Each structure stands twice: as C-alpha cells, then as structure tokens.
Amino acid sequence: MSPLVTDIVLESLAPSLVGLEQFSITGCPRVSHLGIWAVVSQNSTGLRALGLEGLSPKFNLAALTALCVESPALASLTSLTLSVHTEAWLTSVSALLAGAPLEIFQIYATSAFVQTTATEVFWRDLTTAHGARLTRFSVHRMLVSLPTIEDVCMRCPALTRLFVVVDPTALGLLAGCLSRARRLATVHVNCQYRGTDTWLAGRASSMLKVPEALTIVCHCPETITLFSCNARVWQVERQIRRNEDGELVAERFLAKYDSPDIPEQFLVVRT
C-alpha cells in the first residue's frame, strides 16, 4: 500500500506521460477515478495495457467508465488487469471494455466471490464481445462454472492461457470442457471449497493426483505444455512409442516443473 500516490500526483505527472503504452497502478487507496482519468485522457498514443489493482473499495469505476466511453482513450487497449471489490463493478467492466480490442483479460476479487447469475452473464458477455481475440483468460478468487469454461474454450479460438477457479467436485468433468479449446498451452486450475465463513484454497495433494491430472491433460489440445492445480505444477512432456497397430504416436506424460523461474500463475494474484 502506498498513501503517497494521490490524484494530485497523477495529475501532475500526466502531461509527461502522453506516450505511455502501459499504465499499471497497484495498492494506492488514495487514488480516485479522477487521477486515473488524468493519465488516460492525456495519452496521445493509445494505452495498450491497463492495470487497476488494490484501489480503494470506494473507487468509482462507474464514473471512470462513463468518462472513457465518451472518448477514444481505450480504443487501443489489448490488456486489462483488474481487482474488483463487489459484483456491481462487473457491469462497469463490461462497458469499459466495449470498444477495446481486448486480447488479455485478468481479473480477481479482493475477497472470494460466490458464483451468481450476474457473474455468469458477465463471462458470457465478455466472451461474446472479445472471444475472437482473447489469448488469455485469467480469473482468481471468483468461481467459474464448467459451462462458462466450456463456452470460453469453444468461443475463444486464439486462447493459449487459461486460469480459472473451480469447485473441486467439478474436476472430474473439467477435461471435457478443455477438450473444446484449440490452442491452449498453459492451464492453471485453482480449487476452492466453501468454508464456514470464507472460501479456502484446497490442498493440491488432496484435490488432484497425477493420474487425474494426466487424464485432464490428455483431453487438452496438442499445444498444451504446462498444467497446474493450486500449488502443483507439471510440464507436459511427450514420448514416442508404437501403438498396437505399429504406428508411432506421441504419448503425453507429466514431469516435474524444472524451470528456475517461478511459474507465472504464482505471480498473478496480489494479496
């Protein structure tokens, strides 16, 4: 959290940021929609990426949206990363992105959302408006239903990265949804179950065993290279063997993630 960044600071910087292509602000509770608008409205080249995370629950996203839709400020926006406090924000998000050529969508709730009709409508409308271009669909702390996952996989032909939250009881049916995708390379599934008062992240060891993970991976398209569930990450490898007909086939198997870099999915969620 940084109380030092305020609307006044952003307004003073805005004239020097006219060529900005990426604008991300995180953990600045004193910033309102006016400070964001000051930067966005004075941009002359067109923002391509916007990140609004950890802002005040009182941040007026509806007011920012009203300003943006009346201007070409986000006409070049291809990437949005956003943390939302309430379900009511979703309506503003849809309007904010209406005229954007969106390719990357990342959203997470500051506290766990319960799946509702409103969230289902939001996912459907987002896919309808931007599905043809979306390469990344990333949702955290917001439960996503299997029909929505299947819809995203079917109607987003360019999708390569998928990050979703599912109920652990739905894991057995997830494979069928992912089989509808065409170009998936990375899939991260976060399992959550309802606790007494909050949503708790399920322990990966009890949620998904290697054979179960492999079953899901085998239903993914040939492009799959990385699969993870909660804190467990596997590389998808292939080995060539002959099948019963004597034909050479590539058989998938899961290997331990051996990259020295931290998997991207563990860098996505800010707490």
pLDDT at position 196 is 35
pLDDT at position 117 is 85
Ranges of residues in the chain with a pLDDT under 50 are 195-200, 202, 204-205, 267-271
Strands (DSSP E) found in the chain: 22-26, 49-53, 79-84, 104-113, 136-143, 161-166, 186-194, 199-201, 226-229, 232-242, 248-256
pTM (2 d.p.): 0.90
pLDDT tens track for 104-124: 999 998 876 667 888 999 999
Rounded Cα distance, 162 and 229, in Å: 12
Residue ranges of domains in the chain, CATH in brackets: 7-264 (3.80.10.10)
